[in-house]
Amino acid sequence: MRQLPWPVRSMNAVGRYLFGGRPFPSLEPEELLTKATRLTGLIDFLPDEDFNQGLAVLCASIEHDVKPTLLGRIALQQMIVRILCNRLLWVYWRSAAPQRFAGVLLPPLIVIGLPRSGTTFLHRLLALDPAARAPMLWELQRPFPALGHDHRRQQTQREIGMIHWLAGHLDTMHVTSADAVEECMLLLDTTMVSLSFWVMSPVYTYLDWWLARDKTHAYRIYREHLLWLQSQTPQARLTLKAPAHTGCLDALLAAIPDAMIVQTHRDPAAALTSANSLISSIQRMATDAVDLPRMAEINVSMLLQLHQNSVETRKQIGQERIVDVHYDAFVNDPIGMIQNIYRHFNLEFTADYANRLQVALNNDGHTKRDRHRYHAEAYGQTDSELRQRYARIR
């Protein structure tokens, strides 16, 4: 596993010496809430049980489970404060512009599936359709403009620049920029019921709480966020993706009954080990104490549970609601697979879109980047074990 740059390791070491393990900066919920109100000038969080419990459990889990470094603690505090600001702004704009939350949500096209099973590649190709509206990272991280100047894109660019400095090798796993289309899982962050927090740091206690939590209310708020985004381009079809939706398919479809679902599938040995590699690299930016075998086992068990949840939901809703995309077939013929998706949902596959797809595939940068290399044994697992554990639901 690659080390963080030496300036980062040095600053974290200085932080350990200066603060001697004392928590700085603070991750106390009340202090974070106060900071968000000061930054936005707003005070109403519209608190509910999800929000109150989620924030409390998350902060306690960071202190108990993560043991963040100095820079990790700073980054986690900034992330939570950003999310709390988003919550305040959501509540404000619901009152200030209610018409933007009251329209009819056009049926969105949503990609789900195991992480690292081709969801990103498929989503970015679907986003090329002129009829599609695929939100970019900067507007997913900050969906609602602050009162005053709108610097959301520039703020996200600075944050991505910092991530590239901390862990530039992440681009071999998942290319990211402020203007890249990204996972709509981020829209669930304002509810405090989101898998994002586990991806960012090993919050074991929070993950247990998230797994046990009913997601119905969180997905109602997620729908409101989609209505806000749709109001900016009312005729465009929202085109989204988040592997985290896979295990929450019942709550997702309760909130958006006419969503068009595309589920990707891949050899679990490849998908799960790749996910372990990516998540461990992200978590190492927050803490020096990533327990690779423990993290990997939790990921495999959690994703198995989420995948099983999707199987149970699919039994109830019928095959016509979902298109399955198998990784190898998709990689071998991406345009043909997208045409199948469009035929299934009676969407228009135009010549313009076909040309855009061909240009994008001709210019695909995957072959120009360093390859993402990963091995199950690095996480205390084997390919055969992973395939056996997923055999029942493959």
pLDDT digit string, tens, across residues 258-279: 999 999 999 999 999 999 999 9
**CATH superfamily, with its number, for domain 6-393:** P-loop containing nucleotide triphosphate hydrolases (3.40.50.300)
pLDDT digit string, tens, across residues 219-267: 999 999 999 999 999 999 999 999 999 999 999 999 999 999 999 999 9
Measured CA distances, 85 to 158, 217, 364 (Å): 18, 20, 37
Sort strands 132-133 and 109-113 into parallel, antiparallel or unpaired. unpaired
Measured CA distances, 218 to 164, 191, 316 (Å): 31, 6, 22
Per the structure block, which two tokens stand in for 367? 């072959």
Question: Average pLDDT for residues 330-343, to the nearest whole number?
Answer: 97
The SS3 call for residue 182 is coil
pLDDT of residue 176: 75
Highest mean pLDDT among 9-18, 168-177, 243-252, 309-318: 243-252
Share of the chain above pLDDT 70, in %: 88
pLDDT confidence tier of residue 1, bands split at 50, 70 and 90: low
The Cα–Cα gap between 370 and 358 comes to 23
- Average pLDDT of the residues of the chain: 90
Which residues are within 8 A (CB) of 315 and not within 5 positions of it... i.e. 6 or more apart? Answer: none
pLDDT of residue 166: 64
Least confident segment among 79-93, 200-214, 359-373:
359-373
Nearest-5° angle of CA 374, CA 174, CA 165? Answer: 100
Question: Average pLDDT for residues 350-356, to the nearest whole number?
Answer: 98
The residue type at 264: T
Per the structure block, which two tokens stand in for 364? 């695909």
pLDDT confidence tier of residue 368, bands split at 50, 70 and 90: very low
The Cα–Cα gap between 303 and 294 comes to 14
The SS3 call for residue 307 is helix
Prediction pTM value: 0.91
Is pLDDT at 183 greater than 50 in this prediction?
A: yes
- Stretch (H or E) spanning 109: strand 109-113
Sort strands 237-241 and 132-133 into parallel, antiparallel or unpaired. parallel
Is pLDDT at 367 greater than 50 in this prediction?
A: no
pLDDT digit string, tens, across residues 147-170: 988 999 999 999 888 777 666 555
Domain boundaries of the chain, sorted by first residue: 6-393
Return the closest-CA partner of residue 185 out of 237, 280, 111, 284: 111
